[in-house]
Amino acid sequence: MPTQFDPPSGTRDFLAAEYGRRERAFAALRSVFASYGFEPLQTPAFERVDVLLGKYGDEADKLVFKILRRGEHEASGEADLALRYDMTVPLARVAAAYGSQLPTPYKRYAMGPVWRADRPGRGRYREFTQCDIDILGSTSPLADAEVLCVHHDAMAALGLTDFVMRMNSRHVLAGLLEVFAVPADLGPGVLTSLDKLDRTASADVIGELVGRGMTSDAATDLVGAMTADDATDLIRKALQSSETGQAGLEEVDRLVALVGAQVPAGRVVFEPRMVRGLSYYTGPIWELTAAGVAGSLGGGGRYDHLIAQLGGPDVPATGSSLGVERVLMLQPDDSGQAARLDVAVTVLGEALAKHSFALAAQARSVGLRASVYLGGSGKLGKQLRWAADQGARWCLIYGAAEQDAGTVTVRDLAAAEQEAVAAAELASYLASKAAAADA
């Protein structure tokens, strides 16, 4: 049962070990993104509500966390702002706002939290972190291929190889609607229903399609073809009668060929029933999935007109998003208790406290993490136990005897040895010990 002290459902607190694990993942991703020449972009956590709504379709609009107008306007119950739902719409706004000041093509990455009023579940949060890469200003399939390669390398940098990149194209989907004679006005809804085939029984999806206005026969044919064992071949054959569908197949095949040198065969597969929910995609689309993780690890595609829809220039765009929470579910949990300090400094009496403080500063001056004992007037044994609890390598003991002798007793907690070091030489002594320990 949740208690009043739990964070709101679908959000989490990150204590040091998990925080460290996430930071290491962010650092690895940042370095892959930068290695392909992507530059960083940071935008606000919230946007004006009109910028966010109406870009994703009704389903997604329902998931946007809106922010009520404040102060005297709060009673109106209106929202003028909303938390960002992903990183793509903020990017489109930036492109509209900065236009020609941005390089062409504009290759940017963005990493940060996004918020969705989803029903929380395993691997499904209401606050989660997306790491996005996008390229604006190129219609070339090479841009799509580069995005896919970055995505692939990003997974590799996190030590992950057990995943599949599922490829499709909006043109394949449009071709399918044509071949299966789905009336144009039903198209978007039909695709939304097909998107559920991975997690919903075929019979239920057929029921939903009929509810949307398809005949029972057409719905059964369509779902049958999409879920058949040889679905890929069936769909390839069926699409021969559609020019759009053919173009879509060529798009997918070309992309798979382009990434072939970098992405091992078998890790990229054509998946005609993969739809991706967002309505703004215009060309190839892809999703990364792995056994044991519900939903996708990442996904993206080409979205050529979204920026124009936001009032910006009609720039072509392609991009991909990796969800850190799901990706980390695949990594072994190596978050054992890490050391908090390198150097723990005892405080053996009120009068000596300022000296202990200065000793800790000397340790910090050579790049070591150091802190004094904050537990009051503890006996030496207790302070040594505290030093060990911190995971410290060295404990500095500074009492009346050391003060008289002008020394510090440096105890090596790993070796259980100690020696007296001249107080004036402490920093260089610790620096050389630390260098030897690192070597």
Which residue in 47, 70, 75, 259 sits closest to 167, CA to CA? 259
Q: Is 88 or 244 the residue whose CB approaches ligand AMP more closely? A: 88
Question: Nearest-CB residue to ligand AMP?
Answer: 323
Output 38 or 286, the one with its CB closest to ligand AMP: 286
- Rounded Cα distance, 78 and 69, in Å: 6
d(CA 196, CA 71): 42
Q: How far is CA 333 from CA 10, 17, 241, in A?
A: 20, 10, 50
Peptide bond connecting 90 to the previous residue in cis, omega within 30 degrees of 0: no
Residues 6+ positions from 435 with CB-CB distance below 8 Å: none
Note whether 105 binds ligand AMP by CB under 6 A. Answer: no
Question: Which residue lies nearer to ligand AMP by CB, 273 or 411?
Answer: 273
Q: Please state the closest distance from residue 321 (CB atom) to ligand AMP, in A.
A: 4
39-40 and 106-115 as β-strands: parallel, antiparallel, unpaired?
parallel
Nearest approach, Cβ of residue 211 and ligand AMP (Å)? 24
Sole binder of ligand AMP in the list 321, 346, 371, 390 (CB under 6 A): 321
Whole-Å CA distances, 370 to 366, 391, 420: 10, 11, 19
b/e code 403-436 from CB counts within 10 Å (16+ = b): beeebbbbbebeeeeeeebebeebbebbbebbee
Toward ligand AMP, which CB reaches closer, 125 or 180?
A: 125
Is 130 near ligand AMP (CB under 6 A)? Answer: yes
Cβ 118 to ligand AMP, closest distance in Å? 4
Rounded distance between C-alpha atoms, residue 36 and residue 380, angstroms: 54
- When the beta carbons of 88 and 407 are compared against ligand AMP, the nearer one is 88
Q: What is the smallest separation between the CB atom of 322 and ligand AMP, expressed in angstroms?
A: 6
Shortest reach from residue 97's CB to ligand AMP, in Å:
22
CA dist list (Å): 385 to 284, 374, 382: 60, 13, 5
Distance of alpha carbon 353 from alpha carbon 345, whole angstroms: 10
Task: From 18-26, 133-141, 319-327, 348-356, give the range in contact with ligand AMP by CB under 6 A.
Answer: 319-327
Q: What amino acid is encoded at 339 in this protein?
A: A
Q: Which is nearer to ligand AMP, 158 or 219 (CB)?
A: 158
Distance CA 254, CA 241 (A): 20
Residue from 326, 355, 411, 433 that binds ligand AMP (CB under 6 A)?
326
Long-range own/partner contacts, residues 401-406 (CB < 8 A, 24 or more apart)? 403/352, 403/355
3-state class (DSSP) for residue 250: helix
Pick the closer one to ligand AMP by CB: 63 or 358: 63
Tell the smallest beta-carbon distance from residue 130 to ligand AMP (Å): 5
Restricting to residues 151-170, which ones interact with ligand AMP according to CB under 6 A? none
CB nearer to ligand AMP: give 124 or 382. 124
Shortest Å distance, C-beta 189 to ligand AMP: 18
Among 115, 128, 386, 394, binds ligand AMP (CB under 6 A): 128
Beta carbon of residue 245, minimum distance to ligand AMP (angstroms, whole number): 24
Are the CB atoms for 96 and 285 separated by under 8 Å? no
Binding mask 106-125 for ligand AMP (x = CB under 6 A): ----------x-x-----xx
Smaller CB separation from ligand AMP, 182 or 288:
288
Amino acid code (one letter) for 236? R
* Nearer Cβ to ligand AMP (298/312): 298
- Provide, rounded to whole angstroms, the least separation between the CB of residue 280 and ligand AMP: 11
Q: Is the dihedral of CA 274, 280, 282, 287 positive or negative?
A: negative
Task: Residue 176: name the closest of 116, 112, 219, 207 by CA.
Answer: 219
CA atoms within 13 A on the CB side of 28: 20
**CB closer to ligand AMP out of 120 and 187:** 120
Q: Is 325 in the site for ligand AMP (CB under 6 A)?
A: yes
Minimum CB distance to ligand AMP, residue 85 (Å):
8
Tell me: does residue 58 bind ligand AMP (CB under 6 A): no
CB of 139 to ligand AMP, least distance (A): 22
Per-residue binding string, ligand AMP, 273-312, x by CB under 6 A, is -----------------------xxxx-------------
Instruction: List residues binding ligand AMP (CB under 6 A).
Output: 86, 116, 118, 124-125, 128, 130, 296-299, 321, 323, 325-326
